[in-house]
């Protein structure tokens, strides 16, 4: 021991202290915590006179089976409202408000099986702040005289305070100070107390930029989409005051209709049918109400234009009866009273070289053409041997008023729908061959004359109204009755083009089109009221019906979900579609734009559907049942970069909103409504540090004394 100098003693002491610290750090937390317990109070960050505030009492310790103490408060500033036990299981709590002495609390683990072993939220208390408090006054709440029972005995905790200064009331000012638009002026002139405004803009204006400023700098202004469709549009401007009170202003913007002419596209893909050489066909032209066609032989026109064609084909069999090279040209017809005008005439079709068969027999010419004595508008003629069918054409005052009506398989035809005005009517008939052993006969001479007279006082029927698809029966057309109509004629359109489906003689004010509508497309229709041709004449066609989109093979009502996030979409969604959810963080531009002050972000998702959908979709988010009854704000960044703000109350842990497009969504909650927020975790390191200091001091003292004795 002679070489054990003072310097060596110091080194030895330092080694021992280091070893003690290492050993202490390896001790279980439960061992270190048994020395004492620690109380905590957290609560509402901002308080104002009249507010309701909540504080949460928490404790950390090990093996705690009971807790009692007092929450002290100034009853001249606060009024006790209620308490709520937060710790679950077999723990029970009782609370006794004694006003001047505070709220006495006692919590016990009745089963003695669920001790507190770590930082735990024990209970919350709610107080109302007296409305008479002035700005700047201090509100104090203290957790004091806290004792906890553990296996080691009765433990105590130091008093802990909660102290807040009363702030000025939140502003309720939700007025605008200015409101304007990028084009024109709103009417009436802006006044902060007027919430409804209007403006009319030309069709060339497809978007209206709205500028608005809040009267109070603490308010927020949210402006709806300024995208304009033709007709009426309603743009909302919502002002949210600091207090949360809202006021919405509206601009009712009318975008005028486009009145410029639209020249229909020229028909294309002209060709002769491969299965029937005399049948001409062409591609449909969007928005055409019909077509005009003309036949040419060896470059020269045959007859006049053939009008009233509603389909995209025409059989020239009755006109191609002599050998030659035949072509045809087509014009798409616009609709009277609309912007759609006739197209240019198409180029000539490819040639169809027809040669009359050498041994073909020419059919006879129809004879004995006369008008029926009972049904005055009914044409009749004698049968022609070996005729496959007949074609007929109507003339008024010796001028053709109809195209060649083909495919007549009888020896009569009723022109009631065409004979609606006064005049002298005749008709001509052609016997149609089979194109091989028999060729068409010559057109007959004109029939006898039928003089039709419409009363001078004949009334033009009103056009049908309320032309719309039935909302309960699929593919059922409906309209309102027209007084004195004998029947109705319905014309069906698909994707804006008239189809070959024209339905005459309808006696009801509805028509079931299920058998006609069986392929993908957007369908509309018009209806004409038909007169009796004597006292009443036909109406003009009705306005076009609303649209009916048929796509039964693609869409069905269903719900698709993402199992990880719990987000689901319900609506008319295509078969096999899936929902895609991408969580967004603060590094993205969208996240920054969607943020709102005084709100906490629960989640931010970019939601999309891998597939198709139509109409309104219900989007459901899983928030958690702990937020039941809380109001969630959903900020939705739309495709045009405007932000839509929605709200929903949590029920059964979920919220549901209705949307028409997918994109980023941010879910926000008022910071005061956060539940189970992560708090700072204060551990037993304080006690470890104290233990190290005490132990180190003791060891140092021992070795210093020994050192002095050795000297």
Full 3-state SS string of 445-509: CCCCCEEECCCCCCEECCCCCCCEECCCCCCEEECCCCCCCCEEEEEEEECCEEEEEEEEEECCC
Reported as a pLDDT band with limits 50, 70 and 90, residue 7 is low
Asked whether residue 50 falls in the same domain as residue 155, the answer is yes
Domain limits for position 610: 555-672
Is the domain of 334 the same as that of 350? yes
pLDDT of residue 703: 36
Assess if residue 375 is contained within a domain.
Answer: yes
Both 663 and 574 in a single domain?
A: yes
In this model, does residue 685 exceed pLDDT 80? no
Q: Per the omega criterion (within 30 degrees of 0), is the bond before 188 cis?
A: yes
pLDDT at 5: 53
The string over 512-543, giving b where at least 16 C-beta atoms fall within 10 Å of a residue's C-beta and e elsewhere, is ebeebbeeebebbbbbbbbbbbeebbbbebbe
Facing residues of 56 across strands? 42, 124
608 and 536 within one domain:
no
pLDDT at 176: 96
Q: What is the mean pLDDT of residues 188-209?
A: 94
**C-alpha to C-alpha distance for 117 and 25, rounded to whole angstroms:** 18
Copy the structure tokens of residue 503.
């339905």
Within 10 angstroms of residue 299's Cβ, the number of other Cβ atoms is 10
Q: Express as a percent the part of the chain with pLDDT over 90.
A: 50
Among 110, 143, 167, where does a domain finish? 167
pLDDT on residue 369: 96
The pLDDT assigned to 326 comes to 95
Q: 169-197 burial, b if ≥16 CB within 10 A, otherwise e?
A: ebeebbebeebebeeeebeeebebeeeeb
Would the pLDDT of 132 be above 50?
yes
State yes or no: pLDDT of 400 exceeds 80.
yes
Question: What pLDDT does 615 receive?
Answer: 66
Distances (CA, A) of 209 to 204, 223, 350, 378, 570: 14, 10, 53, 64, 33
Give me the pLDDT at residue 661, please: 83
Last residue of a domain, one of 207, 228, 255: 255
Q: Which range has the worst mean pLDDT, 147-156, 174-183, 223-232, 235-244?
A: 147-156
Nearest one of 615, 607, 612, 619 to 573, comparing CA atoms: 612
Is the model's pLDDT at 211 over the cut of 90? yes
The answer as to whether 134 is a domain residue is yes
Q: pLDDT value at position 687? A: 36
The CA distances from residue 157 to 119, 148, 361, in Å, are: 14, 8, 121
pLDDT in tens, 455-465: 778 888 999 99
The three-point CA angle 490-307-375 to 5° equals: 60
- Whether residue 613 lies inside any domain: the answer is yes
Tell me the CA distances in angstroms from 250 to 186, 230, 237, 443, one per residue in order. 11, 18, 6, 69
Provide the pLDDT for residue 11. 57
Structure token digits, residue 688: 């470890």
* Statement: residue 443 has pLDDT above 70: yes
Question: Quick one: pLDDT at residue 57?
Answer: 96
Total count of domains within the chain = 7
Are 317 and 440 contacting, i.e. CB atoms less than 8 angstroms apart?
yes
Same domain? For 149 and 41 the reply is yes
* 10 — pLDDT class (breaks 50, 70, 90): low
| Interatomic CA distance for residues 58 and 72, integer angstroms | 15
Q: What residues have CB less than 8 Å from 448, skipping those under 6 apart?
A: 369, 370, 371, 426
The DSSP symbol for 182 reads: S
Residues 576 and 643 placed together within one structural domain of the fold: yes
* Residues 490 and 523 placed together within one structural domain of the fold: yes
The C-alpha atoms of residue 487 and residue 532 are separated, in whole angstroms, by: 9
Q: Say which residues have a Cβ less than 8 Å from residue 367's Cβ, sequence separation at least 6.
A: 381, 382, 444
* Best CA proximity match to 328, nearest among 384, 278, 399, 256: 278
CA dist., res. 421 & res. 2, Å (int): 143
- pLDDT recorded at residue 614: 67
The predicted pLDDT at position 99 comes to 72
pLDDT at 595: 78
Please state the pTM of the whole predicted model: 0.35
Cα separations (Å) of 341 from 256, 290, 294, 336?
20, 11, 19, 8
* Mean pLDDT, residues 72-97 taken together: 93
DSSP notation for 339-391: SEEPPPPPPPPPPEEE---TTPEEPPPP---EE-SSSTTEEE----TT-SEEE
Q: Are residues 196 and 158 in the same domain?
A: no
Of 187, 177, 175, give the one whose Cα is nearest residue 247: 175
**pLDDT exceeds 50 at position 19:** no
Q: Is residue 692 situated within a structural domain?
A: yes
Q: Which of 185-194, 547-556, 688-697 ranks highest by mean pLDDT?
A: 185-194
Helix (H) or strand (E) holding 408: strand 405-408
529 and 589 belong to one structural domain: no
Annotate 663-690 with b (16+ C-beta within 10 A) or e (fewer).
bbbbbbbeeeeeeeeeeeeeebeebbee
**Rg over CA atoms, the chain:** 45
Is 679 inside any structural domain?
no
Q: 349 with 283, same domain? A: yes
Bridge pairing between strands 271-272 and 220-223: unpaired
Q: How far is CA 194 from CA 178, 197, 198, 215, in A?
A: 11, 8, 12, 14
- Is-contact 629 703, C-beta < 8 A? no
List, for residues 162-188, the tens digit of each pLDDT value. Answer: 999 999 999 999 999 999 999 889 999
Q: Is the confidence at residue 682, as pLDDT, over 70?
A: no
| Window from 53-67, 191-205, 228-242, 647-661 with minimum mean pLDDT | 647-661
* Average pLDDT along the chain: 84
**Domain match, 566 and 631 both:** yes
In a domain? residue 302:
yes
All residues at 6 or more sequence positions from 327 whose CB lies less than 8 Å from its CB, including other chains? 295, 296, 299, 348, 349, 350, 351, 352
- Asked if residue 160 and residue 54 are part of one domain, the reply reads yes
Taking 50 as the threshold, does the pLDDT of residue 350 lie above it? yes
Pairs from 483-486 (Cβ < 8 Å, separation ≥ 24): 484/459, 484/531, 484/532, 484/535, 484/536, 485/461, 485/529, 485/530, 485/531, 485/536, 485/539, 486/530, 486/531, 486/532, 486/536
> Taking phi first (over 0 means left), then psi (-120 to 50 degrees means alpha), and beta for anything else, what does residue 598 get?
left
Kindly state the tokens that stand for 111. Answer: 């089963």
Taking a C-beta distance cutoff of 8 angstroms, is the pair 109, 80 a contact?
A: no
Predicted confidence at residue 683, as pLDDT, reads 34
> CA 293 to CA 319: how far, in whole Å?
13
Please check whether residue 466 lies inside any domain of the structure.
yes
Asked whether residue 1 is assigned to any structural domain, the reply reads: no
Distances (CA, A) of 569 to 612, 613, 625, 638: 12, 10, 20, 17
Domain boundary pick from 101, 132, 167: 167
Query: How do residues 138-167 score in pLDDT, each as one tens digit?
Result: 999 999 999 999 877 889 999 999 999 999
- Condensed to tens digits (0 to 9), the pLDDT of residues 577-634 reads 899 999 888 778 778 777 777 788 989 999 988 877 766 788 999 998 899 989 999 9
Q: What is the CATH number of the domain that holds 208?
A: 2.60.40
State the number of CA atoms in the 13 A half-sphere of 530 facing the CB.
Answer: 18
Q: How confident is the model at residue 553 (pLDDT cuts 50, 70, 90)?
A: low
Whole-angstrom Cα distance, residue 470 to residue 517? Answer: 14
The H or E element containing residue 19 is helix 6-25
Q: What are phi and psi of 14, to 5 degrees?
A: -65, -40
Q: How far is CA 66 from the centre of its chain?
A: 54
Residues in a beta bridge with 646: 634
| CATH classification at residue 398 | 2.60.40.10
Nearest-angstrom CA–CA distance, 555 and 520: 11
């Amino acid at each position: 021991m002679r070489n054990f100098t003072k310097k060596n003693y110091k080194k030895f002491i330092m080694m021992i202290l280091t070893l003690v610290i290492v050993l202490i750090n390896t001790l279980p937390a439960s061992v270190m915590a048994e020395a004492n317990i620690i109380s905590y109070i957290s609560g509402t960050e901002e308080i104002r006179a009249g507010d309701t505030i909540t504080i949460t009492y928490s404790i950390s310790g090990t093996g705690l089976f009971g807790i009692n103490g007092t929450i002290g408060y100034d009853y001249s500033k606060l009024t006790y409202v209620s308490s709520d036990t937060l710790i679950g299981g077999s723990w029970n709590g009782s609370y006794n408000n004694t006003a001047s002495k505070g709220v006495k609390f006692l919590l016990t683990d009745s089963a003695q099986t669920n001790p507190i072993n770590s930082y735990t939220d024990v209970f919350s208390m709610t107080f109302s702040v007296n409305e008479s408090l002035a700005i700047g006054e201090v509100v104090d709440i203290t957790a004091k005289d806290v004792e906890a029972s553990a296996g080691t005995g009765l433990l105590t905790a130091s008093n802990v305070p909660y102290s807040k200064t009363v702030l000025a009331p939140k502003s309720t000012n939700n007025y605008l100070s200015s409101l304007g638009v990028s084009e024109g002026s709103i009417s009436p002139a802006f006044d902060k107390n007027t919430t409804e405004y209007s403006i009319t803009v030309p069709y060339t204006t497809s978007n209206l930029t709205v500028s608005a400023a809040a009267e109070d700098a603490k308010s927020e202004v949210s402006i709806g989409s300024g995208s304009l469709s033709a007709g009426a549009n309603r743009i909302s401007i919502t002002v949210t005051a600091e207090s949360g009170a809202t006021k919405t202003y509206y601009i009712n913007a009318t975008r005028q209709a486009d009145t410029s002419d639209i020249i229909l596209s020229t028909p294309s893909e002209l060709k002769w049918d491969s299965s029937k050489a005399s049948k001409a066909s062409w591609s449909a032209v969007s928005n055409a109400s019909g077509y005009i066609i003309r036949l040419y032989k060896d470059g020269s026109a045959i007859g006049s234009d053939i009008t009233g064609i509603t389909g995209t084909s025409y059989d020239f069999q009755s006109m191609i009866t002599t050998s030659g090279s035949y072509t045809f040209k087509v014009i798409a017809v616009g609709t009277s009273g609309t912007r759609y005008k006739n197209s240019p005439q198409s180029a000539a079709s490819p040639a169809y070289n027809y040669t009359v068969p050498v041994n073909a027999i020419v059919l006879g010419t129809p004879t004995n053409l006369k008008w029926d004595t009972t049904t005055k508008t009914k044409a009749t003629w004698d049968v022609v041997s070996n005729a496959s069918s007949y074609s007929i054409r109507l003339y008024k005052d010796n001028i053709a008023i109809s195209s060649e009506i083909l495919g007549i398989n009888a020896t009569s035809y009723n022109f009631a729908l065409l004979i609606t005005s006064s005049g002298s009517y005749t008709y001509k008939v052609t016997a149609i061959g089979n194109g091989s052993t028999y060729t068409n006969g010559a057109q007959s001479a004109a029939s006898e004359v039928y003089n039709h007279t419409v009363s001078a006082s004949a009334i033009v029927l009103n056009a049908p109204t309320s032309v719309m698809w039935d909302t309960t029966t699929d593919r059922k057309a409906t309209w309102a009755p027209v007084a004195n109509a004998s029947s109705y004629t319905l014309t069906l359109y698909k994707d804006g083009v008239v189809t070959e489906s024209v339905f005459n003689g309808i006696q009801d004010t509805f028509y079931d089109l299920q058998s006609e509508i069986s392929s993908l497309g957007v369908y509309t229709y018009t209806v004409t009221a038909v007169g009796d041709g004597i006292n009443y004449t036909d109406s003009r066609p009705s306005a076009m019906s609303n649209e009916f989109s048929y796509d039964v093979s693609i869409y069905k009502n269903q719900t698709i979900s993402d199992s990880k996030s719990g987000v689901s979409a319900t609506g008319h969604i295509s078969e096999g579609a899936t929902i895609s959810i991408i969580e967004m963080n603060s590094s993205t531009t969208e996240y920054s734009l969607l943020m709102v002050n005084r709100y906490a972000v629960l989640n931010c998702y970019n939601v999309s559907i891998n597939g198709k959908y139509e109409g309104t979709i219900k989007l459901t988010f899983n928030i958690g049942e702990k937020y039941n009854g809380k109001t969630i704000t959903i900020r939705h960044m739309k495709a045009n970069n405007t932000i839509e703000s929605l709200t929903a109350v949590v029920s059964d842990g979920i919220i549901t909103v209705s949307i028409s497009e997918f994109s980023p969504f941010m879910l926000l909650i008022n910071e005061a409504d956060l539940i189970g927020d992560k708090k700072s975790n204060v551990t037993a390191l304080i006690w470890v540090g104290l233990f190290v200091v005490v132990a180190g001091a003791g060891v140092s003292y021992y070795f210093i004394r020994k050192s002095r004795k050795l000297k």
